[in-house]
Amino acid sequence: MRDFADVSTWVFDLDHTLYPPSAALFALIEARMVDWIAVELDVDRDHADRLRHAYWRRYGTTLAGLMAEHGTDPHAFQHAVHDVTLDTLMPDPVLAAALAALPGRRIVFTNGSEPYARRVLERCGIAGLFDAVYGVEHARFTPKPNRAAFEAIVEEDRIDPAAAAMFEDSPDNLRVPHEMGMRTVLVAPARAHAPPVPHIHHATENLGDFLSQAVNRAGPRAPVGLPQRA
Protein backbone atom coordinates (compact mmCIF):
# COMPACT_ATOMS: atom_id res chain seq x y z
CA MET A 1 0.00 0.00 0.00
CA ARG A 2 1.13 3.55 -0.68
CA ASP A 3 1.84 5.76 2.31
CA PHE A 4 1.22 9.49 2.72
CA ALA A 5 4.70 10.83 3.41
CA ASP A 6 4.75 13.07 0.33
CA VAL A 7 1.09 14.09 0.27
CA SER A 8 0.65 17.86 0.20
CA THR A 9 -3.01 18.06 -0.85
CA TRP A 10 -5.81 16.18 0.89
CA VAL A 11 -9.06 16.06 -1.12
CA PHE A 12 -12.28 15.04 0.61
CA ASP A 13 -15.71 14.26 -0.68
CA LEU A 14 -18.42 15.64 1.61
CA ASP A 15 -21.52 13.49 2.01
CA HIS A 16 -20.97 10.16 3.79
CA THR A 17 -17.25 10.92 3.89
CA LEU A 18 -16.83 13.82 6.32
CA TYR A 19 -19.94 12.75 8.20
CA PRO A 20 -21.44 9.24 8.58
CA PRO A 21 -24.31 7.84 6.50
CA SER A 22 -26.30 7.49 9.73
CA ALA A 23 -26.98 11.24 9.59
CA ALA A 24 -29.45 10.39 6.78
CA LEU A 25 -29.24 13.75 5.01
CA PHE A 26 -29.62 12.08 1.62
CA ALA A 27 -33.12 10.92 2.47
CA LEU A 28 -34.13 14.54 3.04
CA ILE A 29 -32.39 15.76 -0.11
CA GLU A 30 -33.85 13.01 -2.26
CA ALA A 31 -37.35 13.80 -0.99
CA ARG A 32 -36.87 17.42 -2.00
CA MET A 33 -35.58 16.30 -5.40
CA VAL A 34 -38.73 14.28 -5.95
CA ASP A 35 -40.92 17.21 -4.93
CA TRP A 36 -39.02 19.58 -7.23
CA ILE A 37 -39.16 17.23 -10.23
CA ALA A 38 -42.86 16.56 -9.71
CA VAL A 39 -43.68 20.27 -9.77
CA GLU A 40 -41.27 21.38 -12.49
CA LEU A 41 -42.02 18.50 -14.89
CA ASP A 42 -45.70 18.21 -13.94
CA VAL A 43 -45.55 14.51 -13.10
CA ASP A 44 -46.69 12.51 -10.07
CA ARG A 45 -44.24 11.75 -7.28
CA ASP A 46 -43.76 8.09 -8.27
CA HIS A 47 -42.78 9.13 -11.78
CA ALA A 48 -40.59 11.88 -10.37
CA ASP A 49 -38.78 9.39 -8.13
CA ARG A 50 -38.17 7.04 -11.05
CA LEU A 51 -36.71 9.92 -13.06
CA ARG A 52 -34.52 10.96 -10.11
CA HIS A 53 -33.03 7.50 -9.85
CA ALA A 54 -32.73 6.93 -13.61
CA TYR A 55 -30.91 10.21 -14.15
CA TRP A 56 -28.57 9.50 -11.26
CA ARG A 57 -27.69 6.11 -12.76
CA ARG A 58 -27.28 7.42 -16.30
CA TYR A 59 -25.58 10.78 -15.73
CA GLY A 60 -23.87 10.53 -12.34
CA THR A 61 -26.24 12.96 -10.62
CA THR A 62 -29.94 13.69 -10.92
CA LEU A 63 -29.07 17.30 -11.70
CA ALA A 64 -26.87 16.33 -14.65
CA GLY A 65 -29.75 14.31 -16.08
CA LEU A 66 -32.24 17.14 -15.59
CA MET A 67 -29.88 19.57 -17.30
CA ALA A 68 -29.30 17.21 -20.23
CA GLU A 69 -32.90 16.11 -20.68
CA HIS A 70 -34.86 19.19 -19.64
CA GLY A 71 -32.53 22.20 -19.61
CA THR A 72 -32.95 22.63 -15.85
CA ASP A 73 -31.44 25.70 -14.20
CA PRO A 74 -28.83 24.08 -11.93
CA HIS A 75 -28.70 26.95 -9.45
CA ALA A 76 -32.47 26.89 -8.85
CA PHE A 77 -32.42 23.12 -8.43
CA GLN A 78 -29.52 23.12 -5.98
CA HIS A 79 -30.99 25.93 -3.91
CA ALA A 80 -34.26 24.02 -3.58
CA VAL A 81 -33.00 20.52 -2.85
CA HIS A 82 -30.23 21.48 -0.43
CA ASP A 83 -32.55 23.52 1.78
CA VAL A 84 -32.74 20.79 4.40
CA THR A 85 -32.29 20.69 8.16
CA LEU A 86 -28.87 19.59 9.38
CA ASP A 87 -29.99 18.67 12.89
CA THR A 88 -28.72 15.09 12.58
CA LEU A 89 -25.12 16.20 12.10
CA MET A 90 -22.86 16.24 15.13
CA PRO A 91 -19.29 17.47 15.67
CA ASP A 92 -16.62 14.77 15.66
CA PRO A 93 -13.69 15.96 17.82
CA VAL A 94 -11.44 13.09 16.73
CA LEU A 95 -11.96 13.89 13.05
CA ALA A 96 -11.51 17.62 13.66
CA ALA A 97 -8.20 17.07 15.44
CA ALA A 98 -6.96 14.71 12.72
CA LEU A 99 -7.90 17.16 9.95
CA ALA A 100 -6.22 20.04 11.77
CA ALA A 101 -2.99 18.07 12.01
CA LEU A 102 -2.76 17.13 8.34
CA PRO A 103 0.28 18.64 6.60
CA GLY A 104 -0.34 20.66 3.47
CA ARG A 105 -3.54 21.79 1.82
CA ARG A 106 -7.00 20.44 2.66
CA ILE A 107 -9.94 20.84 0.30
CA VAL A 108 -13.49 19.57 -0.16
CA PHE A 109 -14.82 18.51 -3.56
CA THR A 110 -18.47 17.49 -3.67
CA ASN A 111 -21.15 16.81 -6.25
CA GLY A 112 -23.34 19.07 -4.14
CA SER A 113 -23.12 22.85 -4.09
CA GLU A 114 -20.51 24.94 -2.32
CA PRO A 115 -23.08 26.75 -0.12
CA TYR A 116 -24.55 23.43 1.01
CA ALA A 117 -21.07 22.04 1.69
CA ARG A 118 -20.16 25.05 3.80
CA ARG A 119 -23.36 24.66 5.85
CA VAL A 120 -22.51 21.01 6.49
CA LEU A 121 -18.92 21.77 7.45
CA GLU A 122 -20.07 24.51 9.82
CA ARG A 123 -22.57 22.20 11.48
CA CYS A 124 -19.88 19.52 11.87
CA GLY A 125 -17.51 22.01 13.48
CA ILE A 126 -14.81 21.68 10.80
CA ALA A 127 -15.53 24.64 8.52
CA GLY A 128 -12.35 26.47 9.44
CA LEU A 129 -10.10 23.50 8.69
CA PHE A 130 -10.28 23.61 4.89
CA ASP A 131 -8.33 25.81 2.50
CA ALA A 132 -10.99 25.57 -0.23
CA VAL A 133 -14.45 24.13 -0.84
CA TYR A 134 -15.45 23.14 -4.37
CA GLY A 135 -18.96 22.23 -5.42
CA VAL A 136 -20.09 20.72 -8.72
CA GLU A 137 -20.54 24.27 -10.01
CA HIS A 138 -16.74 24.66 -9.97
CA ALA A 139 -16.54 21.71 -12.38
CA ARG A 140 -19.05 23.42 -14.72
CA PHE A 141 -21.75 21.09 -13.33
CA THR A 142 -19.95 18.00 -14.60
CA PRO A 143 -20.24 15.54 -11.71
CA LYS A 144 -17.90 12.92 -10.38
CA PRO A 145 -17.03 10.24 -11.50
CA ASN A 146 -16.47 12.01 -14.86
CA ARG A 147 -12.81 12.69 -15.51
CA ALA A 148 -13.58 16.26 -16.58
CA ALA A 149 -14.89 16.99 -13.09
CA PHE A 150 -11.62 15.98 -11.44
CA GLU A 151 -9.54 17.73 -14.08
CA ALA A 152 -11.44 20.97 -13.47
CA ILE A 153 -10.67 20.92 -9.74
CA VAL A 154 -7.07 19.83 -10.25
CA GLU A 155 -6.62 22.82 -12.55
CA GLU A 156 -8.56 25.22 -10.33
CA ASP A 157 -6.61 24.32 -7.18
CA ARG A 158 -3.29 23.68 -8.97
CA ILE A 159 -3.07 20.19 -7.51
CA ASP A 160 -0.20 17.85 -8.26
CA PRO A 161 -2.03 14.49 -8.37
CA ALA A 162 1.16 12.62 -7.51
CA ALA A 163 1.23 14.53 -4.19
CA ALA A 164 -2.50 14.27 -3.44
CA ALA A 165 -4.85 11.88 -1.67
CA MET A 166 -8.56 11.48 -2.43
CA PHE A 167 -11.11 10.34 0.17
CA GLU A 168 -14.51 9.12 -1.04
CA ASP A 169 -17.43 6.95 0.04
CA SER A 170 -18.02 5.86 -3.58
CA PRO A 171 -15.64 3.31 -5.14
CA ASP A 172 -16.54 4.55 -8.63
CA ASN A 173 -15.47 8.07 -7.71
CA LEU A 174 -11.95 6.83 -6.92
CA ARG A 175 -11.19 5.35 -10.35
CA VAL A 176 -10.18 8.59 -12.03
CA PRO A 177 -8.14 9.90 -9.05
CA HIS A 178 -6.24 6.60 -9.13
CA GLU A 179 -5.64 6.97 -12.88
CA MET A 180 -4.39 10.51 -12.29
CA GLY A 181 -1.85 9.29 -9.74
CA MET A 182 -3.53 10.13 -6.44
CA ARG A 183 -3.59 7.92 -3.39
CA THR A 184 -7.16 6.73 -2.95
CA VAL A 185 -9.02 6.01 0.28
CA LEU A 186 -12.50 4.51 0.45
CA VAL A 187 -14.44 5.75 3.49
CA ALA A 188 -17.31 3.32 3.84
CA PRO A 189 -18.14 1.24 6.92
CA ALA A 190 -20.09 -1.28 4.87
CA ARG A 191 -17.28 -1.77 2.35
CA ALA A 192 -14.13 -1.42 4.45
CA HIS A 193 -13.57 -5.18 4.52
CA ALA A 194 -14.57 -5.88 0.91
CA PRO A 195 -12.06 -7.65 -1.36
CA PRO A 196 -9.34 -5.26 -2.56
CA VAL A 197 -9.55 -3.63 -5.97
CA PRO A 198 -6.63 -2.04 -7.86
CA HIS A 199 -7.90 1.55 -7.86
CA ILE A 200 -8.46 1.70 -4.08
CA HIS A 201 -5.26 1.85 -2.05
CA HIS A 202 -6.86 2.00 1.40
CA ALA A 203 -10.29 1.48 2.95
CA THR A 204 -11.50 2.56 6.36
CA GLU A 205 -14.55 2.43 8.57
CA ASN A 206 -13.53 5.53 10.53
CA LEU A 207 -12.02 8.56 8.81
CA GLY A 208 -10.84 10.26 12.00
CA ASP A 209 -8.86 7.24 13.18
CA PHE A 210 -7.44 6.63 9.71
CA LEU A 211 -6.27 10.23 9.35
CA SER A 212 -4.69 10.17 12.79
CA GLN A 213 -2.52 7.28 11.64
CA ALA A 214 -1.80 8.96 8.31
CA VAL A 215 -0.58 12.08 10.09
CA ASN A 216 1.93 10.02 12.01
CA ARG A 217 3.36 8.89 8.66
CA ALA A 218 3.07 12.22 6.88
CA GLY A 219 4.81 14.56 9.31
CA PRO A 220 3.82 17.91 10.84
CA ARG A 221 1.28 20.37 9.49
CA ALA A 222 2.72 23.24 7.40
CA PRO A 223 2.42 26.68 9.06
CA VAL A 224 -1.01 28.25 8.81
CA GLY A 225 -1.12 30.82 6.01
CA LEU A 226 1.29 28.88 3.83
CA PRO A 227 -0.94 26.41 1.95
CA GLN A 228 0.99 23.90 -0.07
CA ARG A 229 0.24 23.91 -3.80
CA ALA A 230 1.82 22.10 -6.69
For residues 121 and 127, the answer to whether their CB atoms sit within 8 Å is yes
C-alpha angle with apex 24: 20 to 26, nearest 5 degrees?
Answer: 105
Q: Tell me, what amino acid is at 143?
A: P
What confidence tens digit (pLDDT) does each residue in 94-121 have? 999 999 999 999 999 999 999 999 999 9
Distances (CA, A) of 222 to 8, 97, 102, 135: 9, 15, 8, 25
CATH 1.10.150.450 fits 25-81, yes or no: yes
For residues 180 and 163, the answer to whether their CB atoms sit within 8 Å is no
Q: What is the pLDDT of residue 197?
A: 86
Q: Domain segments of the chain: what residues?
A: 9-21+88-218, 25-81
Is the omega angle on the peptide bond into residue 145 within 30 degrees of 0, that is, cis? yes
What confidence tens digit (pLDDT) does each residue in 147-180 have? 999 999 999 999 999 999 999 999 999 999 999 9
Query: At residue 181, what are phi and psi to the nearest 5 degrees?
Result: 110, 5
Q: What is the pLDDT of residue 189?
A: 76
Spell out the CATH class of 9-21+88-218: alpha beta
Q: What is the pLDDT of residue 154?
A: 97
Percent of the chain with pLDDT strictly greater than 70 = 90
Distances (CA, A) of 181 to 97, 165, 175: 27, 9, 10
Strand partners, 202: 185
What confidence tens digit (pLDDT) does each residue in 75-100 have? 999 999 999 999 999 999 999 999 99
Instruction: Quote the CA–CA distance of 14 and 113 in Å, as a whole number.
Output: 10
Q: Minimum mean pLDDT among 52-56, 205-209, 224-228: which range?
A: 224-228
Neighbours of 132 (CB within 10 A): 17
Mean pLDDT of the chain: 90
Q: What is the pLDDT of residue 196?
A: 74
